[in-house]
Chains A and B, each alone.
Chain A
Amino acid sequence: MNNDFLVFDHVTKRFGALTAVSDVSLSVNKGEFFSLLGPSGCGKTTLLRMLGGFERPDSGRIYLEGKDITDLPPNQRRVHTVFQNYALFPTMTVWDNIAFSLRLAKMPKEEVEERVSAMLEMIQLSDQAWKYPSQLSGGQKQRVAIARALVDRPQVLLLDEPLAALDLKLRQHMLLELDTIHDQVGITFLYVTHDQGEAMSLSDRIAVINRGCVEQLAGPAQIYEAPASRFVASFIGDTNFFHGEIVTVDGDYCFIQIEGFPQIKAYNDKKLSVGQEVDLSVRPEKIRVTLTPPPPEKGASINVFPSKVKDIVYQGVYTKYWLVSSGLQIQSLKPHSRFLLDQEPITWNDEVFVWWHPDDGFMVEVAK
């Protein structure tokens, strides 16, 4: 695989006093589904616009297949964008919208027809070809926008929050469709989103961006299970943070002391030493809540803390518990397997036990 297919090399972009993108270096593989994930205003769209040619970086270069494209205007880059609002041409039919780039390239008529029909078939809109964008539903517009950007086989397809304007059901459907299209065309997709769910389910790799910097670049599982920073841990999914100091190191494990709280055992994968301040992140679904203490076969080494149920939110697939233990708030998720037979029900103000395995906590170092 070509590791230098698309490269951002120390790219910086400022808008007045605001630094939108700060010294970002990234490389995207050929054919990859790559996501830029971050909160709104983090600079991910600016990165995309610089790749599209709509903004010029203040410093740094952008390379595509070894060629420096930093200074090329948008119409000279074989990089197409699917815009958030689709930006379909309202005065043209679906057919003419899709054929736009081919006709610009002065492609022979028969080939245009062939390619556009093939695209229409792929997005399953052959019978809508002569409609105008205003006559289409949101999902159909979305598909036309994708077809229009893919029809002349660009080197990279940029998708700028393409699903943000769709409702939940349609969004889930389009996610699958995007995945299928990516598999079919084999073009590199660069996907910008603030929705971690979208990024996680589609991407080969994700760059988590915050305040113009890349916080972490890794696969979805790694980003979720081994977040590189407190920001990544809190942005991707819910989590419990325990802020404390390492007081004992015991082989691969260590003990963390939090004021007014029993010591927490955690896996010390970063080989931190005593005295180091850490943020321990424990995902809610990894924390169990039971009325009785955990069975002894779970081992004596797990973390068990008595606590009190403060709030319960039933959400169908799972129930969310808010608990208080020695003054600390802890949240836990419990999936439902068998309705009514899920042990005895836990209700408000019950005295319960909260427990998790030390391996399920992940430590994020705190810089001093």
Chain B
Amino acid sequence: MNDNPLRTRKAEWLVTAPSFVWLAVFFAVPAVIVLAFTFHGHDASGGVGDWSLSTWRELVDPDYPAIVWNTIRISFEVTLWSILLAVPCAYAIARMNKRWRTVVAGSIMLPFWTSFVVRVFAWKTMLHPDGWLQACYITFLRVREWLFGWLPAALQQALVWAGLASEGRVDVATSTILDSESAVVLVSVYTFLPFAIMPLYTAAEKFDFSLLEAARDLGAKNFYAFRKIFLPGIRQGLVSAVLMVFIPAIGSYVIPQMLGGTECVLIGNKIFMRAIQNRNIPHASALATLMAVSVLIPIGIAVWWKKRQDARGRKRLEEQTARLVMTGGGRAG
């Protein structure tokens, strides 16, 4: 092992240095700059002013918490639907024969040959109030009302959070899918779906499908085997897919700008507005920081909790092993 020149400390640094430099220049430094801007005021000509806490004081806007919450909720919805659609897709593609796999995986990447903005414009046309998607939307609203309308208020609110219902009463007669939250979720899922399919497909391709056969052999039904064997088997892909969708969804502003109307304003739109229209760079920076912190804190808590659970689980397993070895030894003796 030690004769391998790449294994020595110095060589290790040499090999990883370029990626560190890259991360430093294009990630760490900009992040620090953005953070620094938030402690500056802005001047009338759109430049960054002197050191001051005025930007943070201005940030106390009653609209912002609701917008941050909306952004997180919608990003969560988009992630959920993307994963729900992408997992069966990835499974199906991984089970195809090699020729079909290439064709289908290629066609998933096909939309990237067209400009993203052009594609969103195309959706604008498709979602026109005279279009068939509008008709589908009205049917969807009616079904939802029929399904959930009789539930108590608390449960309805829970459905809103779960992304199954929208806030407030919906007037079916005047609702349009264009300029609604539903349009934003729909087109966001459309946009981010390939980013969810690709890591899942990569994981599923490496998955050993004979394991499903083994599970069936031991008495499992198809869906049980899928849930207990396939999903844990592509865990890494699931984590990547969630991040690949959730992170860009948090920062997205083109889709809500073009399809969300006044109903769906996300933090990305606010940042865009402050930075480009108001030319208030410090304020935009503060919003970006606020958003990043709002996401990082729950993730941090989740990671800490998971680590604690893992440590506890390991300890429990060790104790069980010790007990088992003891009883086993006792029986043998």
Contact = CB atoms under 8 A, between A and B. Distances in A.
24 contacts: A53-B216, A73-B216, A74-B216, A74-B217, A75-B219, A75-B220, A81-B214, A81-B217, A85-B208, A87-B210, A87-B211, A87-B213, A87-B214, A91-B232, A100-B218, A104-B218, A104-B219, A105-B219, A120-B328, A121-B331, A126-B328, A127-B324, A129-B321, A130-B321
A89 interface: yes
B318 interface: yes
Interface in B216-249: 216-221, 224, 229, 232-233, 235
Q: How large is the interface on A (under 10, 10 to 19, 20 to 34, 35 or more residues)?
A: 20 to 34
A149 interface: yes
B235 A121 contact: no
A52, A81, A89, A117: which has the most chain B beta carbons within 10 Å? Answer: A89
Contacts of A88: 214
Interface string A87-118: 11111010000001100110000000000010
Interface in A119-163: 120-121, 126-127, 129-130, 148-149, 152
A199 B319 CA distance: 42
Contacts of B211: 87, 89-90
Given A75-B219, A75-B220, A91-B232, A127 B325 contact: yes
A134 to B, nearest CB: 12
Contacts of A52: 217
B317 interface: yes
A120 B215 CA distance: 20
B213 A74 contact: yes
Tell me the dominant secondary structure on chain B's binding face: helix
A100 B217 contact: no
Given A117-B324, A126-B324, A130-B317, A104 B216 contact: no
Contacts of A152: 218-219
Nearest to A151: B218
B24 to A, nearest CB: 35
A101 B331 CA distance: 26
Contacts of B210: 83, 85, 87
A104 B217 contact: no
A130 B328 contact: no
Contacts of B102: none
Given A90-B233, A104-B224, A126-B324, A80 B218 contact: yes
A117 B325 CA distance: 10
A91 B227 CA distance: 12
Q: Which A-B residue pairs are the 3 nearest by beta carbons? A: A87-B214, A126-B328, A91-B232
Nearest to A100: B218
Given A54-B213, A101-B218, A105-B219, 19 more contacts: A53-B217, A74-B213, A74-B216, A75-B216, A80-B218, A81-B217, A83-B210, A85-B210, A87-B208, A89-B214, A90-B233, A91-B229, A91-B235, A100-B220, A117-B324, A127-B325, A129-B321, A130-B318, A152-B219
Contact of B321 (A54, A74, A80, A127): A127
Contacts of A104: 218-220, 224
B218 A148 contact: yes
A123 B321 CA distance: 16
Given A75-B221, A104-B220, A130-B320, A121 B214 contact: no
B79 to A, nearest CB: 23
B217 A91 contact: no
A9 to B, nearest CB: 23
A101 B318 CA distance: 24
Contacts of B215: 89, 100
B229, B324, B327: which has the most chain A beta carbons within 10 Å? Answer: B324
Contacts of B233: 90-91
Given A87-B213, A121-B328, A127-B328, A149 B321 contact: no
A49 to B, nearest CB: 9
A117 B328 contact: yes
A112 B40 CA distance: 65
B331 A149 contact: no
Contacts of A101: 218-219
B214, B216, B221: which has the most chain A beta carbons within 10 Å? Answer: B214
A74 B208 CA distance: 18
Contacts of B317: 93, 130
